[in-house]
Structure formats: structure tokens, C-alpha cells
Chain A
Amino acid sequence: MSASLAAPAPAGAGRMTLRLVLIGAMLVLAMLPVLNRLPPDSALHVSDFIVSITGKWITYAILALAIDLAWGYAGILSLGHGAFFALGGYAIGMHLMRLIGPRGVYGHPTLPDFMVFLGYRELPWYWLGFEHFPFAILMAMAVPGLLAGVVGYLAFRSRITGVYLSIITQAMTYALMLAFFRNDMGFGGNNGFTDFKELLGMPLNTPSARSTLFYASLLLLLGSLWVCGRVTRSKLGRVLVAIRDAESRTRFLGYDVTQHKLFVFVLSAMIAGLAGALYVPQVGIINPGEFSPGNSIEAVIWVAVGGRGTLVGALLGAFSVNALKTWLTTVAPDLWLFALGGLFVAVTLFLPRGLIGLFQKERR
């Protein structure tokens, strides 16, 4: 990777402005559910649609942050982060399925509908414990973390880098997609999980549930920003940049590159898993399509559009690309894939530092 791509740290004044803009944006986001409660004829009223879609985008932004941490800082271009996101989603989905209880179509006290339909007698062992919310949240982090740990350990130890790593991670999510499509995996096969009723005693699909999930996502976003910022501003962050730009040289300085990469990859996967866990209750469904390689690579392009190697860039990219997608798929659905494809081409050719790069250039 050439040196010119690495964004320099914004100068003091610039960093201040950036921080103010960021705080402002967060405040605006935080206001949305409040404005939603205003009477519909009020000029400041915000529709349910805006609140729910913004809540979804916030979880996307967290995913983008996770990808940026691995790619922008450590040079690990994972094309499989959608898998970590989906695994987190499945973890919370299992919890939500357990909470349905006897309210399912078949009215079975413990088994979810699809299991009754497939003739299960009892819950598979790996469903045990998911009736507890803390356990499900723990799993939403632990399972992606473990997967990232195993895949990462095998790959980094063998010094698989660059595009090879990308292909391996893509194969990983592809294999998971194939596996989750199978009925006998015990994850609902093709249809996945849906028809959720409640979470933490609060019925889903009500305004209060929406705003609670919205604020939870926003909190997670702030938390992830803090964690990622803590990592990138520490010496570890500089080691990661060193690995990104000259992996072999970092080794000769005595750094165990495998450990550092593994740390950031696992951390990133856990953040992505949590994002998925907040995504699923908001959209009300999780199915194997979330594992499709296209999803992961689309998330990568958010980061590329926003500007990798800057945390704010990842957020900017996730929000702007998804806003474009929502708008375009309503007005001209056929154009969206052209636009997305064009975005890949345009960003890599003309905007290697993303949208953030534009602002940075202006400031100098």
C-alpha cells in the first residue's frame, strides 16, 4: 500500500472541528426519537420510518467502524465481516425465538415453530442458555470473536495477507451461508428467524421499543467509537499502522505480528457481532442471506467511500451510502446496482481517501 494513501492525523484545529461536527451529528441523532413523539402535524415531526431506518443505519455504522479498525488501521481487508454481523444477529435471534414461547403457530411451549415443523423433539444443546438475555449478548460477541480467532490465527500465522486473506474471509462467509441454509443446522434454514414478539419484556414494534433500541444502538456506537479510538490512539494503533504499511519490518523490530493482528481482528469481529445483535430486533428478521458475500463487500465499500483509516470516515460512509441506497431503491430500483458498482469504481480510482479526504485536502 503506498504511503500517499495513509491519512495524516488532522492538525489540532482540524481535529477540534471534526470533533464538534461529530458531537453535533450525535446530538441530532439522539433527538430523532424525541421528535418522533411530537404530533404528526408539527413541523419538526420525524416519521416512524426515519427513526427505524436511522436505527438500522446506526448498526451499519458500527459494522463499518469494525471493518475500518481492521482494514483502515491494520490493513486486514476482511470480506467476511458480514458473517460476524450475522452471527451476532443469529445469537440475539435465538434469544428472541425462545421468548416467543407458546405464542408460536404450533403453540409448543419451548420449541420454535420451525423445529416443531421439522419434527424436533427437544431443543438442540447449542440452543441451551439462549433464554437468558445476558447469555445471548455474550454469545453475540463470543461466537464471532471465536470464529475470528480461529480463522485469524490460522491465516495470520501462515502469513496470509492482502487479497489472499480477503478471499479466505469471503470463502468463510460463503461457507457459513451455505451451512445456515440447511434445515438440519437447527437455525431455521432458508427462512431463518422472524415473528419476534418481545425483548426484555417490552413488545417489539412499538414506538417505545423502537426508541429504546435506537438509543441502545446509539450507545453502542459511542462505545465502539471510544474503544476504537482508544486502540488507534494508543501505541497499539501505531503498531497496527506499522503492520499495515510494512509488516515484515515490524517483525524485525520484535513485534509478534500474528498477536497484534489477531487482537484487532477479534475485537473487530466482536464489535460487528454486537452491531448485528442490535440490528436484528430492529428489522425483525434474520436469515442466511445476511451471510451472502455481497453484504460484506457492500459494508467494505461504506468504509471506502467514507475514508478508511479515520473512524469518522467509516461513520460518514455508512450513513451516506445507505441514505443513497434508500433513496435510489425507492425512485429507481434498477439503477441502484449500477450506482453501487459505479461507487466501487469511482472511490477506488478517484477518491482513495474517501469523502473525508476531500475535507482534509480543503483544510490544507
Chain B
Amino acid sequence: MEKLIAGLLLLLVLALPARAQDAFTTALPGLAGGFSEAAAAVEQLGASADPRALPVLRAMAEGRLQKTPEGALRVPQGDGFVDPATGQPADAAGAETVRLNNRVRQALRGALGQLQIISPDAGERLAAAEGVFRSRSAANVPLLEAALAKETVPRIREQMELALAASQLVGTEAEGKRSAIARLGSAGTTEARALLIEARIANPDMATAIDVSLAAIEQTLAIRRAAETLFQGLSLGSVLLLAALGLAVTFGVMGVINMAHGEFVMLGAYATFMVQEACRGIPWLAPWSLPLAVPAAFLLAAAAGAILERGLIRHLYGRPLETLLMTFGVGMILQQAVRSIFGAQNREVTSPAWMQGTMMLPGGIAVTQNRMWIIVFGIAVLLLVIAAIRYTRFGLEMRAVVQNRRIAATMGIRTGRVDALTFAFGSGIAGMAGVALSQIDNVSPNLGTGYIIDSFMVVVFGGVGSLAGTLVGALTLGVVNKVLEPYAGAVLAKVFVLVAIMLFIQRRPRGLFALKGRAAES
């Protein structure tokens, strides 16, 4: 990318008619001199605002600038070299790299910033404005003012204004300082805060204005922190939502308590691992193994669920406590089986490139991509579940069986089949949750145990049998957990939440336990 820009710039330089004996030509040879001479030359070139200087200085900063024994400069260009003074290809026989020391490097940083800030490339200008903001020297004020006069991109203008304010703040002009203080107050960043705190010591006469600005920054930062906490909470909430949605179907709708639910989540995570391994050998497929794992995990967990329901659970309908114990045993067997097959150690599921990294939302709120995707995935699965229950034939039959089994049977609905499908559906959702969890947690045989209690809490808290309740419950628990964490630590936050749910149930036992299922009269 940078090379391309450099090349473009060079073309631009070549197109320009050479100006004889301008600042650029005068200062250029100095680069080949001693360290202090070179530093002076770099500063002059920076102040020249000449676009030709940029590729030269950049090459120098990157340690690519060559110097012939005669003292002529050579900039590497493609396979050959060019002479920066003429812009023509030139021979670089016997040339050696121009060496730098810290003094020169510092000068280079400032000069590059000065030059880049008038670069035709928007990205460069933005980066330069940020660089100038950090270097903050009163000398940059005229440069920034000139750049601002021409700048039209709002985002760059904003950054330039901040850089100008930072530069003015260390200057001597009182009027400039005042406007700088006001401008920095609206920036709302920790850097601006640091600058102001520094300036407060240096300028006791402006303490009041600085304090006002500092307060404004604190407020912005607090809002941003709150937004980031909210995001983390929503992200944890969607993890809980994913884990609890399957329960909302099997426990909430069918009234079957399945303690092996967490193990179905675990199966989903291992399905993700297996799909990833299968795709590893096929390069064009490998980045898409995660989306492929979603149906695979669903089917694997759904099949396990169907077998569990038909084979065991249906014999225990109407006996919820026995079902609880039996499914706990099934969970143990599943865990041990996976441990025997895959080993007890963690299996790694890598995130595809498009899910890695951090994303900046407006207002400077940083969010990690994979958490973002989990929120999206959680909402998608929720919509899928709602759609399946509301708009499909299967959903209709399921609701009919839940409301009145005997009448549903007399209408020709095969209730046994509906039971199996419903349970498989709920289990399959658990499998899909496993795909998401494989991205943020260790894929190990006891992956599910950490989520099962929380999931039940979500369903119980949100209201058994209500998908909207599950959504609200999951997001509330997620956010409350994350809000409490800075004060109480992750573990105590969890303990508080559990206690809070118990107390909440005191106030709303009926609302939360309005169970419409077979376990209603347990």
C-alpha cells in the first residue's frame, strides 16, 4: 500500500516542472551530510511543504535511502534507483544506506508529519494529523492552519483541529491557548485529558477554563466507558441467550428439564472443531469452516437430542425430578465419552480472519469483532427460533401439543413425533450455541458445565415458556454482570447476580414461574 502511494507520489513529482533552486533543491544535499546537518536538512524539507520531499524522507525513515560515494542521494524505485534531485533513474553503484541517529529520527517524524498533512491521500493526512497531535510543537501552528484551510474531509478536519489545539496549547499566544482548551475539552480522549492536565500546571491563570474542559472530557469518557460496558454486557448476554434459547424450548415449552443441555452445547463446539479439521486441507474452504459448522453442530446436537428423548426421556414424562437426575447422568456419560475420544486437553478452534480484530464504532467505542459477531448470531438464532415456532407447520403442531396433548392427538398430530422433534430442535439450538462458544471459550469436555446453571437462571429469571423473557433475561443478566464486575470482580459479580435472582423471585414468583407445560404440577 505504502509503496503504491509512494509510487503515485513519485509520478506526481515527475509531472511537476522542476523548480530551480527552490527550498527542496537547496536542502536536499544536506541529507547526505553528518547527523546534525542531516537533521537540519530534514527540518527544512519538512517546512518546505514540497510534495517531492515526502518519498525521500520516507525512504530515509525506513532506512532505504542510499548515498553514493560522491554524496549523491538515491531512492530505491522498483528494481532500480532514482535521483531525488532530478527525479530521473540513476545508477547507485557503491551506494550505502544513509545512517540515522535519534536526533535525525525525531526530525524525520516531525517532517513526515508536516509533509503528509498536505498529502493528496486522505489516509495519510489523517495519520499525519494524529502524528502532529502527539508531537505537539508550537512551530506546527502555521502548518496546521494552512492545512485546515484546504481540508474538506470532516474527520480529518476534526483531527487537525485537535492537533492545532495541542500545538497552540504549548505555544505562547494566550488567545490561541484559550480556544485550544475549549477545543480539547470537546475531544473526550485520554490524550486530550493528559495534555490539559499538563497545561494546567504550566498555566495557572487558565485553571478555571481548563477545569471546565477537563470535566467535559471526564463526562465523555464516562459515557464511552458505559457504552463499552454495555457492549460487553450485551455480548455476554448473547452468549447466555444462545445457551439458554435451547433450554427455553426444551424446558420452557416442553417442560422437560435437561441437565445434559450443557453437554449438547459442548457437542456443538466439538462439531465446530471437527468441521474445521475437515476443511483444513481445502484452502478455499478453510476460511468458511465456521459458517459450515453451524448446520453441522445443529444436526449433531439435534440427533443426540432426538435419541435422548425417544430413548430415555419419554419414559419419564411427568416425573421432572427423575428426568433431572437421569439427564445429569447422560451429561456425565457424554462428557466422559468426548474425553475418551478427543482427550481431556483443550481443542483449538481458530477464528477466521474476518472475525478477528477490533472495530471502532462512532464515538471512539472499541468493540472486538468476534463478540460483535456473537451478538449478531444470537439475534439471528432468536429470530430463527421465533420464526420456526410461529410460522412453520412444526411450530404449530408443537404449540398444539403443549396446549392440549389429547386434543392435538385427536386432530391427527403424532404427539410422540412432535415431542422428539421439539426436543431435537431445542438440542440443536444448544449445538449452535456451541459454535459461538468455541470462539470465546476453551473447547474442552466440560465446556457446558460452566453455562448450564447460568442458562437455567436466565430461563427462570426471564419467565419460563417465554422467548421474549429469555431474551430480556439473558441480556439483563449479561449487562448486570458486566456492570458489577469492575466493583466486585467477576466471581463476586456472579454470586451477587445469583443472590439477586433469588430475591427477585420473591417479588415475582408467579410471573417467573408461570409454567405452561408438563412440569406445571411437579
Chain A residues close to B by CB (< 8 Å): 1-2, 77, 151, 154-155, 157-164, 166-168, 170-172, 174-175, 178-179, 181-182, 293, 297, 300-301, 304, 334, 337-338, 340-345, 347-349, 352
Instruction: Kindly state the separation between the CA atoms of A171 and B323 in the bound complex, as whole angstroms.
Output: 18
Closest Cβ of chain A to B193, distance in Å, is 32
Residue B275 lies at the interface, judged by CB distance under 8 Å to chain A: no
- Nearest B residue to A5 by beta-carbon distance? B319
Closest Cβ of chain A to B324, distance in Å, is 6
- Nearest A residue to B316 by beta-carbon distance? A348
A sample of 16 more A-B contacts (CB under 8 A), given A163-B321, A181-B491, A293-B453, is A154-B503, A157-B506, A159-B509, A162-B320, A162-B522, A163-B257, A167-B460, A170-B453, A171-B456, A171-B457, A171-B502, A178-B495, A182-B492, A337-B336, A343-B329, A344-B329
Tally chain B residues at the interface, Cβ within 8 Å.
43
Given A160-B509, A161-B522, A338-B333: A174 and B321 interface contact (C-beta under 8 Å): no
Instruction: Kindly state the separation between the CA atoms of A301 and B331 in the bound complex, as whole angstroms.
Output: 14
Closest Cβ of chain A to B444, distance in Å, is 15
- Nearest A residue to B502 by beta-carbon distance? A154
- Nearest B residue to A350 by beta-carbon distance? B315
Instruction: Kindly state the separation between the CA atoms of A2 and B317 in the bound complex, as whole angstroms.
Output: 11
Q: Inside 8 A of A293's CB, which chain B residues have their CB?
A: 453
Residue B413 lies at the interface, judged by CB distance under 8 Å to chain A: no
Closest Cβ of chain B to A88, distance in Å, is 21
Convert B267-289 into 0s and 1s, putting 1 for each residue whose CB lies closer than 8 angstroms to a CB of A.
Answer: 00000000000000000000000
Q: Inside 8 A of B326's CB, which chain A residues have their CB?
A: 344-345, 348-349
Instruction: Kindly state the separation between the CA atoms of A159 and B330 in the bound complex, as whole angstroms.
Output: 29
10 closest Cβ contacts across the A-B interface?
A344-B329, A162-B522, A341-B332, A341-B333, A337-B336, A158-B509, A348-B326, A341-B329, A348-B322, A175-B498
Tell me if B491 and A179 are in contact (CB < 8 A).
yes
Q: Inside 8 A of A301's CB, which chain B residues have their CB?
A: 325, 329
Tell me if B499 and A175 are in contact (CB < 8 A).
yes
Tell me if B495 and A175 are in contact (CB < 8 A).
yes
Tell me if A167 and B492 are in contact (CB < 8 A).
no
Instruction: Give the interface centre of B330, B336, B457 by most chain A CB atoms within 10 Å.
Output: B336
Instruction: Kindly state the separation between the CA atoms of A348 and B330 in the bound complex, as whole angstroms.
Output: 12
- Nearest A residue to B459 by beta-carbon distance? A167
Instruction: Kindly state the separation between the CA atoms of A337 and B257 in the bound complex, as whole angstroms.
Output: 21
Tell me if A342 and B333 are in contact (CB < 8 A).
yes
Closest Cβ of chain B to A120, distance in Å, is 19
Tell me if B513 and A160 are in contact (CB < 8 A).
yes
- Nearest B residue to A178 by beta-carbon distance? B491
Residue B81 lies at the interface, judged by CB distance under 8 Å to chain A: no
Instruction: Kindly state the separation between the CA atoms of A23 and B329 in the bound complex, as whole angstroms.
Output: 33
Instruction: Give the interface centre of A151, A300, A340, A348 by most chain B CB atoms within 10 Å.
Output: A348
Residue B519 lies at the interface, judged by CB distance under 8 Å to chain A: yes
Contact for A297 among B323, B328, B492, B522, CB less than 8 A: B328
Q: Inside 8 A of A344's CB, which chain B residues have their CB?
A: 325-326, 328-330, 332
Residue B505 lies at the interface, judged by CB distance under 8 Å to chain A: yes
Given A162-B320, A170-B453: A297 and B336 interface contact (C-beta under 8 Å): no
Contact for B513 among A2, A164, A178, A343, CB less than 8 A: A164
Tell me if B329 and A163 are in contact (CB < 8 A).
no
Instruction: Give the interface centre of B315, B332, B501, B519 by most chain A CB atoms within 10 Å.
Output: B332
Residue B340 lies at the interface, judged by CB distance under 8 Å to chain A: yes
Residue B395 lies at the interface, judged by CB distance under 8 Å to chain A: no
Instruction: Kindly state the separation between the CA atoms of A89 and B362 in the bound complex, as whole angstroms.
Output: 54
Closest Cβ of chain B to A347, distance in Å, is 8
Q: Inside 8 A of B312's CB, which chain A residues have their CB?
A: 345, 349
Q: Inside 8 A of A338's CB, which chain B residues have their CB?
A: 332-333, 336-337
Closest Cβ of chain B to A27, distance in Å, is 33
Residue B335 lies at the interface, judged by CB distance under 8 Å to chain A: yes
Tell me if B325 and A337 are in contact (CB < 8 A).
no
Instruction: Give the interface centre of B331, B506, B522 by most chain A CB atoms within 10 Å.
Output: B522
Residue B494 lies at the interface, judged by CB distance under 8 Å to chain A: yes
Tell me if A's interface is mostly helix, strand, loop or mixed.
helix
- Nearest A residue to B332 by beta-carbon distance? A341
Residue B87 lies at the interface, judged by CB distance under 8 Å to chain A: no
Residue B318 lies at the interface, judged by CB distance under 8 Å to chain A: yes
Given A160-B513, A343-B329: A178 and B324 interface contact (C-beta under 8 Å): no
Instruction: Kindly state the separation between the CA atoms of A162 and B456 in the bound complex, as whole angstroms.
Output: 14
Tell me if A174 and B332 are in contact (CB < 8 A).
no
Closest Cβ of chain A to B465, distance in Å, is 13
Given A175-B499, A344-B326, A349-B312: A163 and B519 interface contact (C-beta under 8 Å): yes
Closest Cβ of chain B to A330, distance in Å, is 17
Tell me if A340 and B502 are in contact (CB < 8 A).
no
Closest Cβ of chain B to A321, distance in Å, is 12
Q: Inside 8 A of B319's CB, which chain A residues have their CB?
A: 1-2, 348
Q: Inside 8 A of B325's CB, which chain A residues have their CB?
A: 297, 300-301, 304, 344, 347-348
Tell me if B333 and A179 are in contact (CB < 8 A).
no
Instruction: Kindly state the separation between the CA atoms of A121 and B506 in the bound complex, as whole angstroms.
Output: 40
Interface residues of B in 307-355 (CB under 8 A from A): 312, 315-316, 318-326, 328-333, 335-337, 340
Instruction: Kindly state the separation between the CA atoms of A175 and B323 in the bound complex, as whole angstroms.
Output: 24
Instruction: Kindly state the separation between the CA atoms of A198 and B303 in the bound complex, as whole angstroms.
Output: 56
Interface residues of B in 475-522 (CB under 8 A from A): 489, 491-492, 494-495, 498-499, 501-503, 505-506, 509, 513, 519, 522
Instruction: Kindly state the separation between the CA atoms of A342 and B505 in the bound complex, as whole angstroms.
Output: 34
- Nearest B residue to A340 by beta-carbon distance? B332
Tell me if B453 and A345 are in contact (CB < 8 A).
no
**Can you give 17 contacting A-B residue pairs, CB < 8 Å?**
A2-B318, A155-B502, A160-B505, A162-B321, A162-B519, A163-B519, A170-B453, A171-B457, A172-B498, A175-B494, A182-B489, A337-B332, A338-B337, A341-B332, A342-B333, A348-B322, A349-B312
Closest Cβ of chain B to A203, distance in Å, is 37
Instruction: Kindly state the separation between the CA atoms of A293 and B330 in the bound complex, as whole angstroms.
Output: 16
Q: Inside 8 A of A174's CB, which chain B residues have their CB?
A: 453, 498
Closest Cβ of chain A to B503, distance in Å, is 7
Tell me if A166 and B333 are in contact (CB < 8 A).
no
- Nearest B residue to A343 by beta-carbon distance? B329
Instruction: Kindly state the separation between the CA atoms of A226 and B17 in the bound complex, as whole angstroms.
Output: 109
Instruction: Kindly state the separation between the CA atoms of A86 and B117 in the bound complex, as whole angstroms.
Output: 67
Given A159-B509, A171-B457, A352-B322: A342 and B502 interface contact (C-beta under 8 Å): no
- Nearest B residue to A79 by beta-carbon distance? B324
Q: Inside 8 A of A162's CB, which chain B residues have their CB?
A: 320-321, 519, 522
Q: Inside 8 A of A178's CB, which chain B residues have their CB?
A: 491, 494-495
Contact for A349 among B315, B456, B494, B495, CB less than 8 A: B315
Q: Inside 8 A of B502's CB, which chain A residues have their CB?
A: 151, 154-155, 168, 171
Instruction: Give the interface centre of B257, B502, B506 by most chain A CB atoms within 10 Å.
Output: B502
Q: Inside 8 A of A159's CB, which chain B residues have their CB?
A: 509
Instruction: Kindly state the separation between the CA atoms of A269 and B76 in the bound complex, as whole angstroms.
Output: 82
Tell me if B522 and A163 are in contact (CB < 8 A).
yes
Instruction: Give the interface centre of A163, A301, A304 by most chain B CB atoms within 10 Å.
Output: A163
Tell me if A171 and B453 are in contact (CB < 8 A).
yes
Tell me if A345 and B498 are in contact (CB < 8 A).
no
- Nearest A residue to B515 by beta-carbon distance? A164
Given A154-B506, A341-B331, A349-B315: A77 and B494 interface contact (C-beta under 8 Å): no
Instruction: Kindly state the separation between the CA atoms of A77 and B460 in the bound complex, as whole angstroms.
Output: 17
Closest Cβ of chain B to A209, distance in Å, is 35
Closest Cβ of chain B to A166, distance in Å, is 6
Q: Inside 8 A of A343's CB, which chain B residues have their CB?
A: 329
Instruction: Give the interface centre of A167, A172, A304 by most chain B CB atoms within 10 Å.
Output: A167
Instruction: Kindly state the separation between the CA atoms of A1 and B522 in the bound complex, as whole angstroms.
Output: 7
Contact for A337 among B335, B460, B494, B505, CB less than 8 A: B335
Instruction: Give the interface centre of A158, A344, A352 by most chain B CB atoms within 10 Å.
Output: A344
